[in-house]
Structure 1
């Protein structure tokens, strides 16, 4: 069991996992970990652990017309949810995505994209989450994602 003074799965560990565990093509998306939330504030009873990742804008991620493609947005959401689950778990644990549903709300162009990933339920064999993708330019939602992950044996 972790002591209060011992660091949990923090931003440095999240950045290490992002750079070492994910496939090279995911690393090519230019993702960065902005925030890890793993300690519940006392004044927020409906708080959920999570993480915020940023995908830097790149023309390489755009389809015709300069709009960031859905495939890149879905990969961002999936990656952010993995990091959020690791934060909630307070450490690395292998898992695999078993379901991801994405609702695209509006296109995003010429802007970084933020992924606010929240763990809805952290389980022994399955975990569930939701991700809000936001345009970093105006902080308006561009997509909502719900996902489920099978937690694998270590």
Structure 2
């Protein structure tokens, strides 16, 4: 059973993500691990024009990527560097238009088992308490050999 306390620091997690997924920083770094806690993680996505949709608001796909990454980060922080843990489902509710600021994703893990992890992610515009997007997701964790 995975620990309810993180076994990776935010620096270790950042180094792992940078090494295994360098493509996520194409065009410059915009994703940051802000915090790791018991069954939780906080990620930040900088406001950048590459994340915008017509009309100048942050796009749904950008918010989806942030939520998926926050869930992945929370899981890895607790099970260790398992690159092959994969998303099996994600559900999104877009609640309001985000402000033209960085986005903050707060993830909490609801279940962290040997083979399955389930969590939810609340995304807010930096400086605002209002949730702009809420996501739930499930990850499959590969068997350790």
Shorter-chain TM-score bucket reads: 0.7 to 0.9
Describe how 1:3-152 pairs up with structure 2 within 5 A.
8-22=7-21, 24=23, 26-28=24-26, 30-38=30-38, 49-89=39-79, 91-93=80-82, 94-152=84-142
Instruction: Tell me how far 1:153 sits from its aligned partner.
Output: 3.2
Change in CA separation of 1:23 and 1:126 when aligned onto 2, cut-off 3 Å: farther
Alpha-carbon distance in structure 2 between the residues aligned to 1:142 and 1:118: 17
Instruction: Tell me how far 1:112 sits from its aligned partner.
Output: 0.3
Alpha-carbon distance in structure 2 between the residues aligned to 1:143 and 1:72: 11
**CA RMSD, Structure 1 to Structure 2 (Å):** 1.6
Alpha-carbon distance in structure 1 between the residues aligned to 2:42 and 2:95: 19
Q: How many residue pairs get matched?
A: 136
Q: Which runs of no fewer than 5 residues in structure 2 stay unpaired?
A: 1-5
Instruction: Tell me how far 1:23 sits from its aligned partner.
Output: 5.5
Alpha-carbon distance in structure 1 between the residues aligned to 2:36 and 2:61: 24
Alpha-carbon distance in structure 2 between the residues aligned to 1:15 and 1:153: 23
Instruction: Tell me how far 1:139 sits from its aligned partner.
Output: 2.9
Q: Which has the higher contact order (CA 8 A, sep 6+)?
A: 2
Q: Secondary structure at the match of 1:139?
A: coil
Residues 7 and 78, structure 2, Cα contact 8 Å, conserved in 1: no
Q: Secondary structure at the match of 1:97?
A: strand
Q: Which runs of no fewer than 5 residues in structure 1 stay unpaired?
A: 1-6, 39-48
Instruction: Give 4+ residue runs of structure 1 displaced > 4 Å after superposition.
Output: none
Residues 99 and 148, structure 1, Cα contact 8 Å, conserved in 2: yes
